[in-house]
Structure 1
Amino acid sequence: MKEITKVVVPQEAQLGFNNNAFFCVGTGRMGLALQKEYYEQLEFVQKDLQFSYIRGHGLFCDDMAVCKVYSEDGLKKVEYNFTYLDRVFDNYKQLGIKPFIELGFMPEELASGEQTIFYWKGNVTPPQDYAAWADLIQAVFHHWFVRYGREEVITWPVEVWNEPNLPGFWKDADMQEYFKLYEISVKAVKECDERIRVGGPAICGVDDERWLQEFLKFCSDFKVPLDFVTRHAYAADAPERIGHYDYQKLRDMNVFLHELKVSRDIIDSFCEYKGMEMHITEFNTSYSPDCPIHDTNLNAAYIAGLLHKMGDVCASYSYWTFGDVFEESGVAFTPFSGCFGLVANGQIPKPTYWAFHFFKQLGATALARNDNYIITKDEEGSLHGMLWNPVPLEAEPMEHKMEFTIALPLEDGEYVFITKLVDEDVCNPLKNWLDLGSPANPTKEQIALLRECARPQINTERFSVSQGIKAWEMNITLKKNALLYFKVQKIIPELDRGYQPDKNGYRL
């Protein structure tokens, strides 16, 4: 089955396009940032994608050793230890990324109960003493002021807790108790410095409309500070569990995007919050860290479609996560474990990594866009485009190709046409790993091979536009689950004296 699309690109049209994909990226719990491979994966990502902020769980979990209760002279006292926190945040600073603070989970010695979540047992109960919780928040911020400077720290957004509308993340999903936690937390932060921006409620898509409506009403009625709204978004249906893995089908992309639009409309229905920033502090296809779809080309093509549209209603959207050093359900058995990351363990970029890489190359001005493509222009006049072709797993087992004929408005001159292709044949490290026998612990040689296999296919073509030709046409065919980035750039040819390419068989 083929779908043919004809695109005539105008010369100067400017369409709305908010490329907010690089504001923030997700990470596993804070304690994992002490591991060598975690640092190497983040360094790899930052060299290329340059995310501005990073957000994850576990700031106050016991493996970070921030909060300790002890007895002295018959009294209970609290002391704070910032050793590990400094190591993590110093590394973030070195890599040019700022923290998007998530206040959570509860230190065991401040917790009112024993309920935990994940392999690493993050405590999800309210504090037994809210004053002690507020003191902890303020102690951390005052330490950061000293270490990193107040003017720097006030640029770090703060989110209160994570998915309190789920009983697994917040005891009994108690809405009123969360509102109390939010109010005390935001006031503790604002007492440190009014300029620090704080938001919530960090909900996911379960009873989300009611939660968001009631949260905004609470903040409005009781004049509780709110600087931005946060929520999460995932695109998969309920999983089928087989062994270590969850298998899920993806929802229609428009259903996913509609959910965000509904949240946007709820925010805008409050006059004092109309137009307020909405940050998606987690998003991906599946919400399971054991879903093999995360490692596939389908994931990349689907995510490309989301990156194209989410900026229409969201101030930012943070991909969950940058890498696969991640332990919500335990330590991964293999390098392709279905975890969330853009980069597999072994520092192997997955196809979805290239979706972000390609969006990073796009120009600021959109000339043409539709459900499967976007074409932009940069300040130098070069044209950049991206095309994608996601095909659902449940589609009929036949070829699903998309053909594009794109007419570009070009003035006279010499040009180079550059393409970078990611599809199931040329950039599919998951397939290559399976071909190697799916080794749980690949050798150095196998890792090196997988890294080589995990790069796009690059092609270049030189062409001329002469007087009388108003548009140059290019024809592109995408196989199923393919991504393609292109650039059309004007060049000024230079040849060294006596160098004649045709004598080596090259025709320019």
Structure 2
Amino acid sequence: MYNLTYPFLTSMRKCTLSLGLSITLIGTTFGQNVLPESQENVHIKIDLSDEKGPLQPAWAWWGYDEPNYTYMKDGKKLLSEIADLSPVPVYVRAHSLLVTDEGPRAALKWGSTNAYTEDSEGNPIYDWTVIDQIFDTYIERGMKPFAQIGFMPKALSSQPEPYRHYWKPGADYNDIYTGWSYPPNDYDKWAELVFQWVTHSVERYGKEEVESWYWELWNEPNIGYWRGTTEEYIKLYDYTADAVKRALPTARIGGPESTGPGWDKAAEFLTTFLDHVTKGKNYVTGKTGSPLDFITFHAKGSPKLADGIVQMGIRSQLNDINKGFEIVASYPELKHLPIVIGESDPEGCAACSEEDYPHYAYRNGTVYSSYTAASFARKYELADRHGVNFLGAVTWAFEFEDQKWFAGFRDMATNGVDKPVLNVFRMFGMMGGQRVSVSSGENEEGLAYNLDNILNSSVRGEEQDINAFASIDKNTAAAMVWNYHDDDKEVAEAPVTLNFESIPADKVLMHHYRVDKNHSNSYQAWQDMGSPQNPTQEQSKQLEEAGQLQLFTSPKWIKIENGEAQIEFELPSQGVSLVRLTW
């Protein structure tokens, strides 16, 4: 049986766990709003001396479809906030950086830069103005490009017409796959474009800066985003990787950004790609293999409507990650390479609104935030299980300019106001150093929702997933605790007792932060105002304040005895707490 060493704890009703962890659980009947008379605490123990490995800031990665939102008003504001929440550089991935202008640059699932065109004689014309504007916005904020090489410029597309799409929510998603999604009509011209782009980046930002970026090719080439064959993508990768390395031998190049490997065809695509880079014949050099500095694939959940309510599908996302890690681990020569989950989200369409897709109604409230806490914690555990180098997980959610307030897109902010989910990332930003063990040790009856249970059946049924994730860094310890369930229902609060052990101080200052219905929740504040679509200046100010991370209690000094501290609180359904101790 797998030996659980990862610092998170799943707690439900009284149950046993043969992995050596035990926990006292609540007996709430899910869906009821009244606590049962015999309510028991959830006891969570955190041993700060039991370190499990470094806490890689895998959460510090973002992405979005519409690159031109980057330098717009709300885009710049949100990027500044994302940069400010992290002690390390945040990496940003955007689609369509090589797409040709046709009509307005910014629209849902569309963007363009006009970086490559040709004159009447077919000679290349390079124009880096818009790409520079995008990357400058990142660099000015201390962020770094996770530079996506794509999509196909019109002049290079083997099937350029029609080129521009005008997709809207509710339309057929396949309508977006137009001329930009086809292979090049000239692979050498494509390679020269890539070479010139990397060369220009070095000239503009400096060799050392560009060495810290990650360059990756395309997006989801195993579905409609790539209208070529698998072999044609592999050929494009060889030409692209060769061009990147010719421009900057120390640059990092990776792929293939395929869809979730939990789908057999996606797993086959990822495996075919990895087979090629390890032992296939290179299309450019004729030698064996291709440069590969990191590996990327995607992972998505699967929400649906069940009995009129939104029911999340965390199992689907975690199974994608589990299978992807398993595939990478099966290649001894690649197992050490960093893995970036290039899109890691509850589902697959950020630009699809709640109005047209009712099962996306989780996005404005606290279901999204508790799901984020619960799913990120398990990503680290899956990496430990497979022994792979988990570097990052890109949250594919940004902002949409000039849309209705809380329109139900998968985004971090609406009209410049932060949503509850962004505050979970602010919590992650206050964690660091080493992951430490989280457990409970009062009974031996078993654990209802350990990792394997969730991989098999998600978080369904009558009990909540009440877990923690903890870290220690110099003079700081932190524990993130969540109360998650797939079903978007409000149930009774769960009493939690958090026990810190091995605190290396006599006195600590506790800060307790909270995201729930009444804290760090601009959506609830907006609803309390009557859901105005034209808020007054004063209302907008109130919403901005409500969107910031809030303390649950006043900061408090705690005396430490025998290295221990005990903190008690109640955690609502879909709530997330961060308890942070400093000394």
Pick the TM interval, shorter chain.
0.7 to 0.9
Matched with 1:403 is: 495
Are residues 1:260 and 2:321 paired? yes
Matched with 2:295 is: 229
Question: What whole-Å deviation, never above 9, does each CA across 1:254-283 have from its counterpart, x for those lacking one?
Answer: x43232122112122223212222111111
TM-score by length of 1: 0.85
Give the distance between the partners of 1:57 and 1:225, measured in 2 at CA: 22
Matched with 1:502 is: none
RMSD between aligned residues: 2.6
Matched with 1:493 is: none
Give the distance between the partners of 2:504 and 2:257, measured in 1 at CA: 49
Amino acid at match of 1:250: M
| Residues 412, 308 of structure 1: alpha-carbon distance in 2 compared, 3 angstrom cutoff | closer
Give the distance between the partners of 1:411 and 1:187, measured in 2 at CA: 51
Amino acid at match of 1:429: S
- Indicate conservation of the 8 Å contact 1:416/1:460, yes or no: no
Equivalent of residue 518 in structure 2, options 425, 428, 435: 425
Give the distance between the partners of 1:149 and 1:42, measured in 2 at CA: 22
Equivalent of residue 339 in structure 2, options 253, 278, 289: 278
Alignment map for 1:20-419 (pairs within 5 Å): 20-49=57-86, 51-62=89-100, 63-71=112-120, 75-113=121-159, 114=161, 119=166, 123-167=180-224, 169-171=225-227, 174-205=229-260, 206=263, 207-220=265-278, 221-222=280-281, 223-237=289-303, 249-253=311-315, 255-289=316-350, 290=353, 291-312=360-381, 313=383, 314-321=390-397, 323-325=398-400, 332=403, 334-345=404-415, 347-369=416-438, 372-380=467-475, 382-393=476-487, 399-409=491-501, 410=503, 413-419=506-512
SS at match of 1:101: strand
Amino acid at match of 2:82: V
- Indicate conservation of the 8 Å contact 1:26/1:56, yes or no: yes
- Indicate conservation of the 8 Å contact 2:98/2:150, yes or no: yes
Give the distance between the partners of 2:490 and 2:62, measured in 1 at CA: 36
SS at match of 1:153: helix
Give the distance between the partners of 2:198 and 2:555, measured in 1 at CA: 54
- Indicate conservation of the 8 Å contact 2:314/2:375, yes or no: no
Give the distance between the partners of 1:470 and 1:85, measured in 2 at CA: 53
Superposed displacement of residue 358, structure 1: 0.8
SS at match of 1:14: strand
Matched with 1:451 is: 544
Superposed displacement of residue 124, structure 1: 0.8
Matched with 1:465 is: 559
- Indicate conservation of the 8 Å contact 2:497/2:566, yes or no: yes
Question: What whole-Å deviation, never above 9, does each CA across 1:16-44 have from its counterpart, x for those lacking one?
Answer: 35332344221343222232221122112
Give the distance between the partners of 2:153 and 2:545, measured in 1 at CA: 43
- Indicate conservation of the 8 Å contact 1:6/1:404, yes or no: yes
| Residues 10, 155 of structure 1: alpha-carbon distance in 2 compared, 3 angstrom cutoff | closer
| Residues 425, 41 of structure 1: alpha-carbon distance in 2 compared, 3 angstrom cutoff | same
Are residues 1:19 and 2:41 paired? no
| Residues 82, 14 of structure 1: alpha-carbon distance in 2 compared, 3 angstrom cutoff | same
- Indicate conservation of the 8 Å contact 1:19/1:308, yes or no: no
Matched with 1:497 is: none
- Indicate conservation of the 8 Å contact 1:248/1:286, yes or no: no
Superposed displacement of residue 226, structure 1: 1.5
SS at match of 1:15: strand
Equivalent of residue 581 in structure 2, options 464, 488, 498: 488
Matched with 2:25 is: none
Superposed displacement of residue 306, structure 1: 1.9
Give the distance between the partners of 2:371 and 2:66, measured in 1 at CA: 26
Superposed displacement of residue 362, structure 1: 1.7
Amino acid at match of 1:140: W
Question: What whole-Å deviation, never above 9, does each CA across 1:446-502 have from its counterpart, x for those lacking one?
Answer: 2212112223243125455376x6633221210101011112334xxxxxxxxxxxx
Question: What whole-Å deviation, never above 9, does each CA across 1:78-128 have from its counterpart, x for those lacking one?
Answer: 211112222222222111111111011111121111365864767211111
Matched with 2:18 is: none
SS at match of 2:469: strand
- Indicate conservation of the 8 Å contact 1:15/1:366, yes or no: yes
Matched with 2:14 is: none
Give the distance between the partners of 2:328 and 2:274, measured in 1 at CA: 8
- Indicate conservation of the 8 Å contact 1:110/1:133, yes or no: yes
Which of the pair has the greater relative contact order for Cα pairs under 8 Å at 6+ separation?
A: 2
Range with greater deviation from structure 2 (348-357 or 423-432): 423-432
| Residues 262, 366 of structure 1: alpha-carbon distance in 2 compared, 3 angstrom cutoff | same
- Indicate conservation of the 8 Å contact 2:116/2:124, yes or no: yes
Give the distance between the partners of 2:563 and 2:294, measured in 1 at CA: 47
Range with greater deviation from structure 2 (410-419 or 43-52): 410-419
Range with greater deviation from structure 2 (434-443 or 278-287): 434-443
SS at match of 1:166: coil
Give the distance between the partners of 1:6 and 1:24, measured in 2 at CA: 32
Give the distance between the partners of 2:239 and 2:505, measured in 1 at CA: 64
Superposed displacement of residue 366, structure 1: 3.0
Matched with 1:496 is: none
- Indicate conservation of the 8 Å contact 2:59/2:376, yes or no: no
- Indicate conservation of the 8 Å contact 1:412/1:464, yes or no: no
| Residues 139, 383 of structure 1: alpha-carbon distance in 2 compared, 3 angstrom cutoff | closer
Question: What whole-Å deviation, never above 9, does each CA across 1:377-420 have from its counterpart, x for those lacking one?
Answer: 2202x3321101112226xx562433221222357744433211
SS at match of 2:409: coil
Percent identity, aligned pairs only? 25
Superposed displacement of residue 160, structure 1: 0.6
SS at match of 2:51: coil
TM-score by length of 2: 0.74
Amino acid at match of 1:359: F
SS at match of 1:176: helix
Superposed displacement of residue 230, structure 1: 0.4
Amino acid at match of 1:316: G
Range with greater deviation from structure 2 (275-284 or 478-487): 275-284
